[in-house]
């Protein structure tokens, strides 16, 4: 059998040598989530102020360690950082003017990465991501961040892998690897620990109530998508402790709670229309226990994000139950899940993908969940249901696409409801302390008729 060690040695360079390949006015792509390069980034960050100018660095869901191109650029103005999906780290950088958001629906990422020159402005000069060590077939596995990594690697003028022995091997699926013949250089990294998330915080009473409402909507044999956050993970753990059976998984993110569901025998994937017996996902951010579970696990399949998220593909599965968080909604039933006013908090991600896909799935439900109120920094309580969205807030899910909504006060299906019916349903979901105010606003906005019931 052919070995690839000669080619490996020929392509092996240091992180510092790799950083020297970046030119002024270049676009550098950093991979996705936990595949963000560490050693290459540190070397590139050291070039701030050495004559390098106007370098755009793109990430997706940036995680620790803080990218050195951000830390070293506060004074030098060498780099501008962009992120397809904002995390806390991206938000802090954006507050300092050091990061900007690239909006998109997540399933489109694969399409853009494979666009074959249609989007020239997207093409990176250099792509670099952390990968597993090369296997005997000459392949480097993308581990925890499949997403659109392969497409970006093939699109880039210079493709570099940074090998990390701690990256779990996440079997495919599709697009889970890049071959040595398809890359230009190899960095043997410092094998830093792969980023892990802390254990989920103890859920609030409101979150537990919301989860109880949602659990009643989930049938045996459902195909689940759970989004990012404490509430979706809580729902997964409640499923693990329930009498539900034959759950399937098709989710952009592999959640920690899926492991608990596997351990309790809840996940079989036996009822799926395709990828039978496998949980399909596109990336994972979680605990080390979750990473250990995914490592070389043939029951799970890492795929490109278009495969998991394309609404038309989601709809091919029956009984898709998609659960995602939102930040606020107005009486017109417009949903914002990604900004506080003009401040970017996260991104559209796959929320709209799965809301649409779940609705078109036979027996499916796209569920948007949120606690009815939140506290600001001063401890003041505000309603997440507002007459109109906060000025500057981005509409993540248009009112025409909203399916199920749930707060600690109930759950409602908005499909086919009039603007009057939507306003009434939303007021019923609101905290009682805000209902009078919302009712008055609904009347002023002509969203309330004499036939509407008094909701309390």
Tokens 């349903």 — which residue? Answer: 425
- pLDDT digits (tens), the chain, 456 positions: 578 999 999 999 999 999 999 999 999 999 999 999 999 999 999 999 888 999 999 999 999 999 999 988 677 789 999 999 999 999 999 999 999 999 999 999 999 999 877 888 889 999 999 999 999 999 999 999 999 999 999 999 999 999 999 999 999 999 999 999 999 999 999 999 999 998 878 899 999 999 999 999 999 999 999 988 888 889 999 999 999 999 999 999 999 999 999 999 999 999 999 999 999 999 999 999 999 999 999 999 999 999 999 999 999 999 999 999 999 999 999 999 999 999 999 999 999 999 999 999 999 999 999 999 999 999 999 999 999 999 999 999 999 999 999 999 999 999 999 999 999 999 999 999 999 999 999 999 999 876 666 544
Q: Is residue 23 part of a domain?
A: yes
Q: What are phi and psi of 5, to 5 degrees?
A: -70, -35
Last residue of a domain, one of 188, 220, 249: 188
Tokens 């609705």 — which residue? Answer: 359
Give start and end residues of each alpha helix (H) in 256-375: 256-263, 288-294, 305-309, 311-314, 351-360
Q: Is residue 152 part of a domain?
A: yes
Same domain, 165 and 216: no
Same domain, 183 and 211: no
Give the CATH number, domain containing residue 227: 3.40.1080.20
Same domain, 176 and 118: yes
Same domain, 233 and 304: yes
Q: Is residue 317 part of a domain?
A: yes
Q: Is residue 237 part of a domain?
A: yes
Three-state SS annotation for 31-93: CCHHHCCCHHHHHHHCCCCCCCCCEEEEECCCCCCCCHHHHCCCCCCCEEEEECCCCHHHHHH
Give the CATH number, domain containing residue 175: 3.40.1080.10
Same domain, 270 and 402: yes
Q: Is residue 198 part of a domain?
A: no
Which class for 298: exposed (0-12), middle (13-18), buried (19 or more C-beta within 10 A)? exposed
Q: Is residue 199 part of a domain?
A: no
Q: How far apart are CA 391 and CA 102, in angstroms?
A: 20
Q: Is residue 12 part of a domain?
A: yes
Same domain, 180 and 212: no
DSSP class per residue in 159-176: EEEEE-TTS----BSSS-
Q: How far apart are CA 39 and CA 18, in angstroms?
A: 10
Same domain, 221 and 301: yes
Same domain, 97 and 222: no
Same domain, 299 and 358: yes
Domain count, the chain: 2
Q: Residues with catalytic annotation?
A: 252
Tokens 């936990």 — which residue? Answer: 34
Last residue of a domain, one of 188, 215, 236: 188
Same domain, 276 and 409: yes
Q: Is residue 232 part of a domain?
A: yes
154: nearest Cα among 132, 173, 182: 182
Last residue of a domain, one of 119, 154, 188: 188
Same domain, 88 and 136: yes
Helix (H, G, I), strand (E, B) or coil at 246: coil
Q: Are 139 and 178 in contact (CB under 8 A)?
A: yes
Same domain, 34 and 176: yes
212-226 as b/e: b if 16+ CB within 10 A? ebbeeebeebbbbbb
Q: pTM for the complete prediction?
A: 0.95
Number of Cβ within a 10 Å radius of residue 289: 12
Q: Cis peptide leading into 173, omega within 30 of 0?
A: yes
Its domain, for residue 221, covers: 205-444
């Amino acid at each position: 059998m052919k070995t690839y060690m000669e080619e490996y040695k020929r392509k092996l360079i240091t992180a510092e040598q790799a950083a020297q390949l970046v030119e002024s006015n270049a676009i550098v792509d950093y991979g996705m989530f936990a595949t963000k390069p560490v050693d290459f980034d540190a070397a590139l960050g050291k070039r701030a102020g050495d004559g390098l100018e106007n370098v755009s660095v793109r990430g997706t869901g940036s995680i620790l360690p803080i990218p050195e191109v951000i830390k070293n650029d506060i004074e030098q103005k060498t780099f501008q950082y962009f992120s397809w999906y904002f995390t806390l780290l991206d938000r802090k950088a954006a507050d300092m003017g050091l990061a900007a958001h690239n909006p998109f629906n997540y399933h489109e990422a694969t399409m853009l990465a494979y666009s074959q020159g249609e989007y020239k402005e997207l093409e990176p000069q250099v792509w670099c991501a952390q990968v597993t060590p090369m296997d005997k077939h000459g392949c480097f596995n993308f581990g925890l961040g499949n997403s659109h990594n392969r497409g970006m690697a093939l699109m880039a003028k210079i493709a570099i892998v940074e090998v990390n022995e701690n990256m779990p091997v996440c079997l495919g699926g599709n697009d889970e690897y890049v071959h040595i013949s398809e890359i230009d250089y190899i960095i043997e990294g410092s094998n830093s620990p792969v980023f892990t998330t802390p254990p989920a915080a103890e859920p609030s009473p409101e979150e537990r109530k919301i989860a109880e409402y949602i659990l009643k909507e989930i049938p045996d044999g459902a195909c689940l998508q759970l989004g990012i956050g404490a509430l979706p993970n809580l729902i997964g753990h409640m499923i693990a402790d329930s009498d539900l059976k034959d759950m399937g998984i098709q989710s952009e993110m592999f959640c920690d709670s899926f492991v608990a569901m596997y351990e309790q025998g809840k996940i079989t994937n036996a009822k799926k229309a395709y990828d039978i017996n496998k949980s399909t996902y596109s990336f994972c951010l979680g605990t080390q226990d979750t990473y250990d579970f995914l490592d070389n696990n043939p029951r799970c399949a890492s795929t490109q994000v278009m495969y998991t998220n394309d609404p038309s593909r989601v709809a091919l599965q029956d009984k898709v139950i998609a659960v995602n968080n939102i930040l606020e909604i107005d009486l017109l039933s417009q949903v914002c899940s990604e900004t506080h006013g003009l401040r970017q908090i996260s991104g559209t991600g796959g929320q709209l993908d799965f809301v649409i896909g779940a609705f078109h799935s036979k027996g499916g439900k796209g569920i948007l969940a949120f606690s009815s109120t939140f506290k600001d920094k001063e401890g003041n309580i505000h309603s997440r249901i507002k007459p109109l969205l906060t000025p500057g807030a981005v509409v993540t899910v248009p009112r025409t696409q909203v399916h199920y909504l749930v707060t600690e006060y109930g759950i409602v299906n908005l499909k086919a409801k009039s603007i009057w019916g939507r306003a009434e349903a939303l007021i019923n979901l609101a905290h009682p302390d805000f209902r009078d105010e919302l009712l008055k606003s609904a009347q002023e906005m002509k969203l309330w008729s004499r036939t509407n019931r008094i909701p309390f």
